[in-house]
């Protein structure tokens, strides 16, 4: 495994980011539950896992609003865990206290931005049924 400092040095501050999302416990037409996001971060030159990134290194952006959507999930990280192999499990919720805020049925597009000693971006889609 590669530490964050080593990844930055070997890849000149660039990391490869891959992400996939699932509905998780998010319930359509309600504001309850969380979508799940799995993010993998690697050194692009060696493929080695980039470990040790804190939650503050991850930004998740709701890129486009769905018809009827009253709120988004931008930076609404409700849970965060590193699996130790360059993969990070992130739970995404909706903001509390926003009137009519609910998961809308459809396909959401998310941007994932990783910063720290290295930087990288990717996109992922989330289908709520």
pTM: 0.88
H-helix or E-strand spanning residue 18: strand 16-22
What sign does the dihedral 98-55-62-30 (CA atoms) show?
negative
- Give me the CATH number covering residue 39: 2.60.40.10
- The radius of gyration of the chain from alpha carbons, rounded to an integer in Å, stands at 15
Assign residue 7 a region: left if phi > 0, alpha if psi is -120 to 50, beta otherwise?
A: alpha
- Domain of 25 in residue numbering reads as 2-128
pLDDT in tens, 18-51: 999 999 999 999 999 999 999 999 999 999 999 9
Instruction: List Cβ<8 Å contacts ≥24 apart for 77-83.
Output: 78/34, 79/34, 80/55, 82/51, 82/52, 82/53
The domain tally of the chain equals: 1
pLDDT in tens, 59-96: 999 998 899 999 999 999 999 999 989 999 999 999 99
């Amino acid at each position: 495994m590669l530490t964050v400092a080593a990844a930055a040095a070997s890849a000149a501050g660039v990391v490869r980011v891959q992400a996939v999302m699932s509905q998780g416990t998010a319930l359509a037409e309600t504001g309850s539950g969380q979508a799940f996001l799995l993010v993998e971060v690697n050194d692009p030159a060696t493929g080695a896992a980039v470990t040790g990134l804190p939650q503050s290194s991850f930004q998740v952006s709701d890129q486009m609003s769905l018809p009827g959507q009253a709120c988004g999930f931008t930076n609404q990280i409700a849970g965060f865990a590193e699996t130790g192999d360059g993969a990070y499990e992130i739970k995404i919720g909706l903001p509390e206290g926003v009137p009519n805020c609910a998961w809308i049925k459809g396909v959401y597009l998310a941007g994932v931005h990783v910063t720290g000693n290295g930087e990288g971006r990717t996109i992922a889609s989330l289908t709520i049924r």
